[in-house]
Structures are given as C-alpha cells and as structure tokens.
Amino acid sequence: MEGPIVRNPMKFLITDYPSEGTIGRYRIDSDRRMRIEEYQGKVGLADLKSIVHSMASDPCWSAEFHGLIDFSGAELDLSANDILRLSLVLKHEANRTSGWLAYVAQNSTVFGIVRMLGYWSRSNDRIRIFGSREEAEAWLELNVDQIPPHCREVELPEVAASLRNAI
C-alpha cells in the first residue's frame, strides 16, 4: 500500500487510507453539515445496510446533514425486494435524515434503483441524481444552507391561523 490518498473534492481536508476489498466508505464533515458515501465494485444490500448502520452510530453523524452518495464506481446488485428492504432501513427513525441527498449515478440501472429507493423511502422531494460527482458537489455547494421541502419545522400558531382563514 502506498501513502495516503488525499481527496479534496469539496474543500475537505480529509485523508483516506483505502483498504483492498472495501465496497464502501463514508466521511462526515460536521463543519459543512454533510456526509459523503463512496462505493465501488459489486455492492449488495448487506454492504449498503452496513454503511448506513455504521454512519448512523457515528458520534459525528446528524440527521440534519446533507448527503452525497457516489455510486459512480459501483455496480449495484439489488433486487426490487432488496431496494424495498433498504428503503425500510432508511425510513427507520435511527437512520432517517432530513437533508438533501445528491446521488451520483453514471448509468441507467443505478439511476432507476435510486429513483425506486427514493419513492419507497418517501424521500423523492429531497433526492437529486447527477451523472457526475462534480455536478453533485456543485449542486450541494449551492444548496447546503437550504432546507428540503417537507423538512421545515412549522410553528403551530401559523398552521392554526391558516386553518382559521380557510374556513
């Protein structure tokens, strides 16, 4: 193994020491309120669930963080049933997020899987799919301070006033 590979795609100062046979890895940048997941090779349901559970138990993780999920180097080996199971894992309270999710899908199969995952996990309004990592990063940089639809906290008096006005 050669020295560390320093990646700086979004002005992060993070050093990775990749290990052979690694299917996926994640990084959390608390300053930018963002998590980055990267996958390569043949990725199955167990691999994705493992990363989700590891990330959610990380003390730096927050449900409010935005996500960059890069499948550009991955071949997703998931059945429709696997996608449904993964969506149930993502909907579970301990793993649920409320930030933007920018996916990198370089082929139509991955694109379709991500669309199904978004639909079944009820997060279509927070998902954006890009053909390249650069596009996804640029979009997240522009929207990092935005709150996705349906994730805003609404004051109860505002709701009550709007209902009174509707009658």
Q: Where are the alpha helices (DSSP H) in 80-128?
A: 80-91, 108-120
| Better pLDDT: 18 or 44 | 44
- The confidence score (pLDDT) of residue 158 equals 58
The tens digit of pLDDT for each residue in 149-167 reads 655 444 445 555 555 565 5
- Prediction pTM value: 0.75
| Better pLDDT: 131 or 154 | 131
Please, what are the domains in the chain?
A: 5-166 (3.30.750.24)
- DSSP code, position 147: P
Other Cβ atoms within 10 Å of 15 Cβ, number: 10
With beta carbons less than 8 A apart as the criterion, state whether 23 and 47 touch: yes
Enter the tokens of residue 34.
């963002």
Other Cβ atoms within 10 Å of 132 Cβ, number: 13
Q: Which of these, 100, 96, 89, 88, lies nearest to 127 by C-alpha position?
A: 100
With beta carbons less than 8 A apart as the criterion, state whether 112 and 129 touch: no
Q: Which of these, 92, 139, 143, 91, lies nearest to 118 by C-alpha position?
A: 91
Sign (positive/negative) of CA torsion 115, 117, 119, 122?
A: negative
Distances (CA, A) of 53 to 76, 77, 88: 18, 19, 13
The tens digit of pLDDT for each residue in 53-87 reads 888 888 888 888 999 999 999 999 999 999 999 99
Distances (CA, A) of 6 to 12, 13, 17, 37, 38: 9, 8, 9, 16, 15
pLDDT at 133 over 90: yes
With beta carbons less than 8 A apart as the criterion, state whether 28 and 55 touch: yes
